[in-house]
Amino acid sequence: MSPSNRAWKVTGIAAIVGVVATGVLITRNERERRAYTPDEVRDRLHERLEEAERSTEPH
């Protein structure tokens, strides 16, 4: 195998590993997001709204 082919092979394997790692992270984050109950989501949204309103109020 020529050195340039080997470099492309290593690059391809690295790309595949990167895609798999990204998929794992997305899946984990999705699981964490779905672990919230509807009440927890609602409470968090209300907290974020209050924070946003406080930060936009004139001083």
pLDDT tens digit sequence for 27-56: 888 877 778 888 999 999 999 999 999 988
Residue 21 has pLDDT above 90, yes or no: yes
Determine the distance from the C-alpha atom of residue 13 to the mean position of all C-alpha atoms in its chain, rounded to a whole number: 22
Whether this prediction's pTM lies above 0.85 is answered by no
pLDDT attached to residue 49: 96
CA atoms of 22 and 1, how far apart (whole Å):
30
Under 8 Å between Cβ of 44 and 36: yes
CA atoms of 56 and 16, how far apart (whole Å):
44
CA atoms of 45 and 34, how far apart (whole Å):
15
> For residue 59, what pLDDT band results from cuts at 50, 70 and 90?
low
pLDDT attached to residue 9: 95
